[in-house]
Amino acid sequence: MPLHRPAPPHPSARPAALLLCGVLLLTACGTAPTTTAGGKNGSKAAASATSLKNCGRTVQVPPGGPRRAVSLNQGTTEIMLALGLADRMVGTATWTDPVMKGLEKPAAAVPRLAENNPSFEKVLDTEPDFVAASFASTLGKGGVATREQFEQLGVPTYLSPADCVGKDNSGGGDGKRTTPLTMETVYGEVRDLARLFGVEDRGERLVAELKGRVAKATTGLRAADVRVLYWFSDARSPYMAGCCGAPGVITRETGTRNVFDDTTEEWPQIGWETVADRNPDLLVIGDLTRKAQSGESAAKKIEFLESDPVTRKMDAVRNKRYVLLSGQAMNPTIRTVEGIEQVAAALRAAGPAK
């Protein structure tokens, strides 16, 4: 089970009278105008309502932007925290890794509604005026609630473009990429959220910082001969990265090759015999803090790799060529930059593949 599909509690139905109260509360001030304008100074409220297109829908927020936002996945949460929006958040959920370094203090100020998916009722209890998520599975059937359910109550929703732009989620599993993900899509999410909250300057500064880190990590790197495998989770039926999600970004930025670049599935499950046949030079291993599957932590993964009769013969295992990444660094988030930095550093330290 991939990181962004935790087993959710079944969404509970809120009594009709209570839902009606939520509608009245959220619409008491009237309907926001449809024209768009945003304040460009992070300290000033927007002059009028702001709207933008997002995954085939229009998201509109009132003047000044959201004041009671809820983020349902760690990826969107960390963008909001990095934009300095903790004081405008009333809840977060689905924490699968420790918070990004430097954001510990603001993260502690925002209530955690659940470690995995909260119920719809739990989210509505915070009286949100905006809900964001990183994955379509969170804002969909079987997740917390659909976008329509929130919007029927006057609560605008936002979905990370990385999970809809160039991606087909209509089948099973974690979807397929119709076009490779790029960091520009992630930067677009930063800019979208900054615009909706009226803090565009902060968004541009964050994007510039992230771009600078990528350039610093990869400039002059030569690793075209290094064949990489990305193992996310599960020892019995392992989830390995296909060509074109966040690991694809890491692969292209570092100039390496993914041994499973022949599949567009986001996280296909692939047998160990097939993995061994591909015989990667470097193993990028998800170091997950959750316990939903076997082999979640990096320690458990390495223990398996070095004891299993099939995997222990792989070159990367014999040479102990491992890079340990957080789950968030292997998802399409601003933490993907961490993944680029760590893989690039390991490549420089190790030198050419033997």
Q: pLDDT of 239-249, one tens digit each?
A: 999 999 999 99
Of the given ranges (18-27, 218-227, 268-277, 331-340), which has the lowest mean pLDDT? 18-27
Q: What is the pLDDT of residues 69-115, one digit of tens each?
A: 999 999 999 999 999 999 999 999 998 889 999 999 999 999 999 98
Name residue, tokens 């030198």.
Answer: 351
Query: What are the C-alpha distances in Å from 86 to residues 45, 68, 82?
Result: 16, 10, 9
d(CA 76, CA 92): 9
pLDDT of residue 316: 96
Query: Would you call 261 helix, strand, or coil by DSSP?
Result: coil
Reported as a pLDDT band with limits 50, 70 and 90, residue 292 is low
**What is the arithmetic mean of pLDDT over 120-124?**
98
Closest to 198 in 3D by CA, of 36, 29, 33, 74 = 36
pLDDT of residue 8: 36
Q: What is the mean pLDDT of the chain?
A: 87
Q: What is the pLDDT of residues 188-235, one digit of tens each?
A: 999 999 999 999 999 999 999 999 999 999 999 999 999 999 999 999
Q: What is the pLDDT of residues 135-185, one digit of tens each?
A: 999 999 999 999 999 999 999 999 999 999 999 998 877 999 999 999 999
**What is the arithmetic mean of pLDDT over 286-312?**
87
Of the given ranges (18-22, 237-241, 287-291, 303-307), which has the lowest mean pLDDT? 18-22
Alpha-helical regions (H) of 83-165: 104-108, 120-124, 147-152
State pTM to two decimals. Answer: 0.85
Reported as a pLDDT band with limits 50, 70 and 90, residue 47 is low
Query: What are the C-alpha distances in Å from 338 to residues 101, 110, 209, 265, 307?
Result: 11, 24, 12, 23, 29
- Check pLDDT > 70 for residue 295: no
pLDDT of residue 13: 36
- Asked if 129 and 197 touch (Cβ cutoff 8 Å), the reply is no
Domains contained in the chain, CATH given: 30-211 (3.40.50.1980), 222-350 (3.40.50.1980)
Reported as a pLDDT band with limits 50, 70 and 90, residue 41 is very low
Amino acid at 106: P
Reported as a pLDDT band with limits 50, 70 and 90, residue 350 is confident
